Structure 1
Amino acid sequence: MQSKRERKEKLIGYCFILPAVLYMLVFIGYPIVYNWLISFQDVTATTLASTARDLIGLDNYKNIKADPTFFKAVRQTFFYTVFCLVFQFSLGFLFALFFSRNFKLSKPIRGFIVISWMLPVTVTALVFKFMFAEGNGIINMILMNLHLISKPIGWLIQSGTAMWGLIIANSWVGIPFNMLLLTTGLNNISTEVYEAAAIDGAGSVQRFMKITLPLLKPTIMSVLVLGFVYTFKVFDLVYVMTGGGPVDATEVMSTYSYKLSFQLFHFGEGAAVANVLFVCLFLVALLYLKTISKDEVI
């Protein structure tokens, strides 16, 4: 039997978490459930406000499956995500190794680098859109002054280069995020471990491979999973810089869902695409939890 004091403390605890629970239910739980419901209904501009909607089962999923743009958007979403992660993590790791050393101006420089991550994504997208502009973009000006190109290139209006422009812009945003988390992980590794290894004759490469990477594995996993989630669901950067063009060359799942819902007014099909995106992220989260739990058991 719980005492009166214990019941009171438990009740107080429930009262503290109640606002967070209500917020999650209203602003996260309800939209997810509603989105799943309309993905099985025939919802268009004429039936959006109606309560009597036709239940069409999996027809919306069949329709997007028959649309080649959907598979193109899926491929490009994974392509964009993988290459962004490669650049963000690689450069972020190098910066983390560099700034984990104690030297003069280390913290101020690291603070300046973090500015790119703190800026709103829409601002970053506009800046890079102007930088990659064909007429007066600074990228073309620099390359032409270096005599690397003879005439301006339309980086964001050509199918072969538009996606790489997005990858560069997103990597510029994500590198500080990776650097911060990895720097924190490196600082949590005791220097005594490195000193003991050095006394035993381990070189710098051996210390990195046998000490740094194994002890940094939980941080690396967290960085990769968070980076995957943030990058995979990208919308604002793509929408502002290219809008999914040219000719669907940068169409990703989020922009494709938005286009179906708010430009073509096929809300059921747009919800179906959003649910596919949700399932992909959910599977990644499950894989991450399984990996972490396995490491904890070991």
Structure 2
Amino acid sequence: MTSVRRARQLAAWGFLAPVVVYLLAFYAYPLYRNLDLSLRHYTVRSFVRGDAPFSGLDNYRTIFADPSFGPALLHTVVFTGVSLVFQFAIGMALAVFFAQNFRLSATLRALFLVPWLLPLIVSASTWSWMLNSDSGIVNWTLGLAGVDPVNWLTSPRWSLVSVIIANIWIGVPFNLVVLYSGLRTIPGEIYEAAALDGASGWSAFRRITFPLLRPVSAITLLLGLVYTLKVFDIIWIMTRGGPVDSSTTLATWSYRLSFGNLLPQFGPGAAVGNLLIVMALICGLIYLRIQRRQA
């Protein structure tokens, strides 16, 4: 009996080993290296030789004292908050709409998934062309309505708005899919009983749909938050964080510090990246605490 139990344990560890190796190689080790980068004074030479001196929290003090830190943090909060609100609201409206099961519902749902399936470089490049000041289709359409052209990507006033619009468009399908799946789990008998009691559509949504979707909504917002915090490629392709840092976020600032200069600053760049990790971790802990209270 002991040998059978031992064989089962070995089999269990055998199935678990690939997952452990994957997590150590692609999560634990990169996190350790990023933390080590942020605690040492790296130059290109010391990075290659691996003999960078330990500097403690100097890199963190450097980024906190940098004039770019405040605007980058503000842009990150605005970019993340506005994107999440509109992605969730539009995704919820579409999920409720498609839950009616009308003709061509499945086909239209599939079409709405296209932005999610496209490579981000394709989506960002497409939006860059659409929002081009001279030849973009958006300004051409505004011109038909008698509105003057807008410098979407080259104006400090509009650059952040432009990347937010593109990010909302890319993130709506994810919210649609998850929320629609949650809607399908709500029994139809509940809505039938509410209709017999004279509940309107809005009342049924407010008192039935939204409360029962709360767990699904919470995880949707959490995943969207973690993803949006680290968005880099959309912003970099469309505006490169400019003009004059008007659309720079912590993610693009981290990249620019580490790889965007002739003299890269690996330590401060890693420190900014660790701030993003801490922000995502805090949001995850808040989510777990809320879930425990609800349970």
| TM-score bin (small chain) | over 0.9
Structural mapping, 1:202-241, within 5 Å = 202-241=199-238
**Residue 37 of structure 1: aligned partner:** 36
**Residue 137 of structure 2: aligned partner:** 138
Q: What is the CA distance between 1:253 and its match in structure 2? A: 0.6
Conserved in 1, the CA contact under 8 Å of 2:236 and 2:252? yes
Matching of residue 248 in structure 1 with residue 248 in structure 2: no
Deviates more, 1:190-199 or 1:280-289: 190-199
C-alpha deviations, 1:23-46, integer Å up to 9, x for none?
110111101011111211101212
Conserved in 1, the CA contact under 8 Å of 2:130 and 2:138? yes
Give the % identical residues: 40
C-alpha deviations, 1:199-228, integer Å up to 9, x for none?
334333332222111110001001111111
User: Structure 2: how far apart are the matches of 1:215 and 1:287?
Assistant: 20
The amino acid that maps onto 1:148 is V
The amino acid that maps onto 1:269 is P
Q: SS where residue 68 of structure 1 aligns? A: coil
Change in CA separation of 1:199 and 1:12 when aligned onto 2, cut-off 3 Å: same
Matching of residue 99 in structure 1 with residue 98 in structure 2: yes
2:189 to 171, 187, 192: 192
Deviates more, 1:172-181 or 1:205-214: 205-214
Change in CA separation of 1:211 and 1:16 when aligned onto 2, cut-off 3 Å: same
Computed over aligned residues only, the root mean square deviation of the Cα atoms, in angstroms, reads 1.2
Q: What is the CA distance between 1:178 and its match in structure 2? A: 0.5
**Residue 119 of structure 1: aligned partner:** 118
Conserved in 1, the CA contact under 8 Å of 2:257 and 2:266? yes
**Residue 260 of structure 2: aligned partner:** 263
Q: SS where residue 24 of structure 1 aligns? A: helix
**Residue 166 of structure 1: aligned partner:** 163
C-alpha deviations, 1:121-161, integer Å up to 9, x for none?
11100000011111111111111112122xx3221000000
**Residue 146 of structure 2: aligned partner:** 147
Deviates more, 1:194-203 or 1:235-244: 194-203
The normalised TM-score by structure 2 is 0.96
The normalised TM-score by structure 1 is 0.95
User: Structure 2: how far apart are the matches of 1:292 and 1:57?
Assistant: 36
C-alpha deviations, 1:157-211, integer Å up to 9, x for none?
0000011110110111111111111111111000111222333343333322221
The amino acid that maps onto 1:224 is L
The amino acid that maps onto 1:136 is S
**Residue 46 of structure 1: aligned partner:** 45
User: Structure 1: how far apart are the matches of 2:124 and 2:202?
Assistant: 39
Q: Which runs of 5+ in 2 are unaligned?
A: none
**Residue 77 of structure 2: aligned partner:** 78
User: Structure 2: how far apart are the matches of 1:7 and 1:82?
Assistant: 51
Conserved in 1, the CA contact under 8 Å of 2:241 and 2:249? yes
Paired residues, what number? 293
User: Structure 2: how far apart are the matches of 1:244 and 1:204?
Assistant: 43
